[in-house]
Structure 1
Protein backbone atom coordinates (compact mmCIF):
# COMPACT_ATOMS: atom_id res chain seq x y z
CA UNK A 1 0.00 0.00 0.00
CA UNK A 2 1.22 3.47 -0.79
CA UNK A 3 0.77 6.44 1.49
CA UNK A 4 1.45 10.14 1.01
CA UNK A 5 2.71 11.75 4.20
CA UNK A 6 2.31 15.55 4.26
CA UNK A 7 4.39 17.48 6.80
CA UNK A 8 3.61 21.15 7.56
CA UNK A 9 6.24 22.95 9.61
CA UNK A 10 7.81 26.38 10.13
CA UNK A 11 10.85 25.31 8.03
CA UNK A 12 11.55 22.70 5.32
CA UNK A 13 11.94 19.30 6.98
CA UNK A 14 10.70 16.59 4.63
CA UNK A 15 13.88 16.24 2.59
CA UNK A 16 16.08 16.37 5.71
CA UNK A 17 14.35 13.64 7.71
CA UNK A 18 14.07 11.00 5.00
CA UNK A 19 17.04 8.86 6.09
CA UNK A 20 15.07 6.51 8.36
CA UNK A 21 12.60 5.81 5.56
CA UNK A 22 15.43 5.22 3.07
CA UNK A 23 17.15 2.75 5.44
CA UNK A 24 13.85 0.88 5.87
CA UNK A 25 13.48 0.62 2.10
CA UNK A 26 9.98 2.13 2.02
CA UNK A 27 10.63 5.61 0.57
CA UNK A 28 9.52 6.09 -3.05
CA UNK A 29 9.68 9.90 -3.36
CA UNK A 30 10.30 12.99 -1.22
CA UNK A 31 10.04 16.72 -1.73
CA UNK A 32 9.45 20.12 -0.25
CA UNK A 33 6.52 22.15 -1.54
CA UNK A 34 6.21 25.90 -2.11
CA UNK A 35 5.87 27.88 1.16
CA UNK A 36 2.40 29.23 1.98
CA UNK A 37 0.97 31.56 4.59
CA UNK A 38 0.56 28.49 6.83
CA UNK A 39 4.23 27.52 6.75
CA UNK A 40 6.23 25.09 4.67
CA UNK A 41 4.95 21.75 3.50
CA UNK A 42 6.79 18.70 2.35
CA UNK A 43 5.88 15.13 1.54
CA UNK A 44 7.05 11.56 1.57
CA UNK A 45 5.59 8.85 -0.63
CA UNK A 46 6.08 5.52 1.12
CA UNK A 47 5.22 1.91 0.35
CA UNK A 48 4.30 -0.15 3.43
CA UNK A 49 1.97 -3.06 4.25
CA UNK A 50 -0.63 -1.23 6.36
CA UNK A 51 -1.66 2.23 7.50
CA UNK A 52 -0.60 1.28 11.02
CA UNK A 53 2.93 0.63 9.74
CA UNK A 54 2.92 4.02 7.99
CA UNK A 55 1.87 5.75 11.23
CA UNK A 56 4.49 3.88 13.25
CA UNK A 57 7.31 4.75 10.83
CA UNK A 58 6.36 8.45 10.85
CA UNK A 59 6.14 8.48 14.67
CA UNK A 60 9.80 7.44 14.88
CA UNK A 61 10.90 10.60 13.04
CA UNK A 62 11.44 13.70 15.21
CA UNK A 63 9.04 16.31 13.81
CA UNK A 64 8.69 19.06 16.45
CA UNK A 65 5.92 21.64 15.94
CA UNK A 66 4.70 19.91 12.78
CA UNK A 67 1.29 18.96 11.46
CA UNK A 68 1.40 15.53 9.81
CA UNK A 69 -1.27 14.05 7.55
CA UNK A 70 -1.13 10.50 6.17
CA UNK A 71 -3.31 9.56 3.19
CA UNK A 72 -3.53 6.35 1.23
CA UNK A 73 -2.73 6.66 -2.47
CA UNK A 74 -4.81 4.68 -4.95
CA UNK A 75 -2.59 2.64 -7.24
CA UNK A 76 -4.28 1.91 -10.54
Structure 2
Protein backbone atom coordinates (compact mmCIF):
# COMPACT_ATOMS: atom_id res chain seq x y z
CA UNK A 1 0.00 0.00 0.00
CA UNK A 2 1.19 3.46 -0.84
CA UNK A 3 0.49 6.44 1.39
CA UNK A 4 0.94 10.15 0.81
CA UNK A 5 2.17 11.79 3.99
CA UNK A 6 1.24 15.48 3.90
CA UNK A 7 3.03 17.98 6.14
CA UNK A 8 0.59 20.80 6.83
CA UNK A 9 1.85 24.36 6.40
CA UNK A 10 2.28 26.81 9.25
CA UNK A 11 2.48 30.59 9.36
CA UNK A 12 6.28 30.19 9.51
CA UNK A 13 6.49 27.93 6.44
CA UNK A 14 4.13 30.22 4.53
CA UNK A 15 6.36 33.18 5.45
CA UNK A 16 9.27 31.31 3.84
CA UNK A 17 11.10 30.66 7.12
CA UNK A 18 13.70 27.99 6.44
CA UNK A 19 14.17 25.08 8.84
CA UNK A 20 17.05 25.18 11.30
CA UNK A 21 20.23 23.17 10.83
CA UNK A 22 19.08 20.97 13.73
CA UNK A 23 15.76 20.17 12.05
CA UNK A 24 17.44 19.57 8.68
CA UNK A 25 19.81 17.13 10.39
CA UNK A 26 16.94 15.33 12.15
CA UNK A 27 14.93 15.13 8.92
CA UNK A 28 17.96 13.81 7.07
CA UNK A 29 18.34 11.01 9.64
CA UNK A 30 14.61 10.23 9.44
CA UNK A 31 14.74 10.10 5.64
CA UNK A 32 17.74 7.76 5.85
CA UNK A 33 15.71 5.43 8.07
CA UNK A 34 12.84 5.45 5.57
CA UNK A 35 15.19 4.72 2.67
CA UNK A 36 17.11 1.97 4.52
CA UNK A 37 13.80 0.31 5.42
CA UNK A 38 12.76 0.41 1.74
CA UNK A 39 9.70 2.48 2.63
CA UNK A 40 10.34 5.89 1.05
CA UNK A 41 9.40 6.37 -2.60
CA UNK A 42 9.68 10.19 -2.66
CA UNK A 43 9.73 13.15 -0.33
CA UNK A 44 10.19 16.90 -0.67
CA UNK A 45 9.49 20.23 0.97
CA UNK A 46 7.41 22.80 -0.88
CA UNK A 47 7.89 26.53 -1.36
CA UNK A 48 5.25 28.80 0.25
CA UNK A 49 1.91 29.22 -1.52
CA UNK A 50 2.92 32.80 -2.41
CA UNK A 51 5.11 31.21 -5.08
CA UNK A 52 2.36 28.90 -6.29
CA UNK A 53 -0.88 29.03 -8.24
CA UNK A 54 -4.18 27.18 -8.46
CA UNK A 55 -6.13 26.33 -11.57
CA UNK A 56 -9.88 26.38 -10.99
CA UNK A 57 -12.12 24.33 -13.28
CA UNK A 58 -15.69 25.19 -14.21
CA UNK A 59 -16.86 23.07 -17.12
CA UNK A 60 -14.43 23.86 -19.95
CA UNK A 61 -13.27 27.12 -18.37
CA UNK A 62 -9.91 27.35 -16.57
CA UNK A 63 -9.06 30.20 -14.21
CA UNK A 64 -5.60 30.69 -12.72
CA UNK A 65 -5.37 32.11 -9.20
CA UNK A 66 -1.92 33.10 -7.96
CA UNK A 67 -0.91 32.54 -4.33
CA UNK A 68 -0.64 33.24 -1.53
CA UNK A 69 -3.67 31.38 -0.27
CA UNK A 70 -5.47 32.44 2.90
CA UNK A 71 -6.19 29.21 4.78
CA UNK A 72 -2.74 28.20 6.01
CA UNK A 73 -4.12 25.16 7.86
CA UNK A 74 -5.37 23.78 4.52
CA UNK A 75 -2.01 24.12 2.76
CA UNK A 76 0.76 21.56 2.36
CA UNK A 77 4.39 22.41 3.17
CA UNK A 78 5.92 19.08 2.19
CA UNK A 79 5.28 15.42 1.57
CA UNK A 80 6.55 11.88 1.58
CA UNK A 81 5.29 9.05 -0.57
CA UNK A 82 5.85 5.77 1.24
CA UNK A 83 5.03 2.13 0.60
CA UNK A 84 4.12 0.01 3.62
CA UNK A 85 1.88 -2.96 4.48
CA UNK A 86 -0.88 -1.06 6.31
CA UNK A 87 -2.23 2.26 7.51
CA UNK A 88 -1.06 1.31 10.99
CA UNK A 89 2.51 0.94 9.73
CA UNK A 90 2.26 4.33 7.99
CA UNK A 91 1.08 5.86 11.27
CA UNK A 92 4.01 4.30 13.15
CA UNK A 93 6.48 5.78 10.66
CA UNK A 94 4.90 9.23 10.93
CA UNK A 95 4.97 9.09 14.74
CA UNK A 96 8.78 8.67 14.48
CA UNK A 97 9.12 11.81 12.35
CA UNK A 98 10.77 14.89 13.89
CA UNK A 99 8.30 17.73 14.39
CA UNK A 100 8.49 19.32 10.91
CA UNK A 101 7.69 22.87 12.01
CA UNK A 102 9.60 23.23 15.30
CA UNK A 103 6.24 24.44 16.70
CA UNK A 104 2.76 22.93 16.69
CA UNK A 105 2.21 21.05 13.45
CA UNK A 106 0.12 18.37 11.82
CA UNK A 107 0.81 15.58 9.35
CA UNK A 108 -1.98 13.96 7.34
CA UNK A 109 -1.80 10.37 6.10
CA UNK A 110 -3.75 9.45 2.93
CA UNK A 111 -3.74 6.13 1.10
CA UNK A 112 -3.02 6.31 -2.62
CA UNK A 113 -5.49 4.60 -4.97
CA UNK A 114 -4.22 1.46 -6.68
CA UNK A 115 -5.56 0.12 -10.00
CA UNK A 116 -7.66 -2.58 -8.32
CA UNK A 117 -9.50 0.05 -6.25
CA UNK A 118 -11.33 1.32 -9.36
CA UNK A 119 -13.27 -1.88 -10.13
CA UNK A 120 -14.78 -2.76 -13.51
CA UNK A 121 -14.63 0.85 -14.73
CA UNK A 122 -10.86 0.44 -14.98
CA UNK A 123 -11.00 -1.61 -18.17
CA UNK A 124 -8.18 -3.87 -19.44
CA UNK A 125 -7.31 -1.14 -21.98
CA UNK A 126 -7.03 1.47 -19.25
CA UNK A 127 -4.92 -0.92 -17.13
CA UNK A 128 -2.58 -1.49 -20.08
CA UNK A 129 -2.26 2.26 -20.62
CA UNK A 130 -1.50 2.77 -16.91
CA UNK A 131 1.15 0.03 -16.96
CA UNK A 132 2.79 1.59 -20.05
CA UNK A 133 2.93 4.99 -18.36
CA UNK A 134 4.39 3.55 -15.14
CA UNK A 135 7.04 1.68 -17.14
CA UNK A 136 8.02 4.98 -18.79
CA UNK A 137 8.44 6.65 -15.40
Q: Same fold, TM exceeding 0.5?
A: yes
> Is contact 1:34–1:40 with CA below 8 Å preserved after alignment?
no
State the shift of 1:40 in Å. Answer: 6.2
Query: Can you give the 5+ residue segments of structure 2 that lack an aligned partner in the other structure?
Result: 50-67, 116-137
Give the SS at the match of 2:36. helix
> TM-score w.r.t. structure 1 length?
0.79
Query: Can you give the 5+ residue segments of structure 1 that lack an aligned partner in the other structure?
Result: none
Q: CA 1:40 to 1:49, structure 2 compared with 1: closer, same or farther past 3 Å?
A: closer
Aligned to 1:31: 44
Aligned to 1:53: 89
> Is contact 1:20–1:61 with CA below 8 Å preserved after alignment?
no
* Greater Rg by CA: 2
- Give the superposed CA RMSD: 2.6
Q: Which consecutive aligned stretches of 4+ in structure 1 deviate over 3 angstroms post-superposition?
A: 9-17
How many residues are paired up?
76
Aligned to 2:62: none
> TM-score w.r.t. structure 2 length?
0.47
Give the SS at the match of 2:98. coil
* 1:68 aligns with one of 93, 104, 107: 107
